[in-house]
């Protein structure tokens, strides 16, 4: 179970750090874009922290059951996909709110 818990934590960390580069705003310097993107990512981490904590609690209590029934990877992957989508949406809305447009 410890191995799967470690996998879940690593997956959540990677999902939380996924980048949404390529933002632009007329007159914005690269350093300003990076700072504002970091701010938006920080807001997304804060907004998803509760869900991450809940998943960690579930893993601590149900991880053994999930391992025994071979649904651990499915549960972790489903949560990671949902978390990635939500995090990306928060960052996207934040950057658009700051006047940026997403790149290709």
pLDDT at 3: 52
CA distances from 36 to 4, 19, 49, 87, 95 (A): 34, 13, 20, 15, 7
Top mean pLDDT of 36-45, 55-64, 78-87 is at 36-45
Q: What is the pLDDT of residue 18?
A: 45
CB atoms closer than 10 angstroms to residue 17:
10
Burial degree of 98 (CB within 10 A; 0-12, 13-18, 19+): middle
> Which DSSP state fits 30?
H
Q: What tokens appear for 42 in the block?
A: 């920080």
pLDDT in tens, 13-38: 544 444 446 899 999 999 999 999 99
Q: Exposed, middle or buried: residue 26 (CB in 10 Å: 0-12, 13-18, 19+)?
A: exposed
């Amino acid at each position: 179970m410890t191995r799967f818990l470690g996998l879940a934590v690593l997956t959540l960390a990677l999902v939380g750090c996924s980048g949404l580069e390529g933002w632009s705003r007329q007159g914005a310097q690269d350093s300003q874009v990076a700072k504002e993107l970091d701010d938006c990512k920080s807001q997304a981490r804060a907004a998803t922290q509760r869900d991450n904590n809940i998943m960690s609690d579930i893993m601590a209590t149900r991880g053994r059951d999930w391992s025994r029934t071979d649904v651990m990877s499915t549960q972790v992957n489903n949560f990671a996909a949902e978390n990635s989508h939500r995090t990306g949406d928060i960052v996207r809305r934040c950057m658009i709110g700051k006047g940026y447009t997403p790149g290709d």
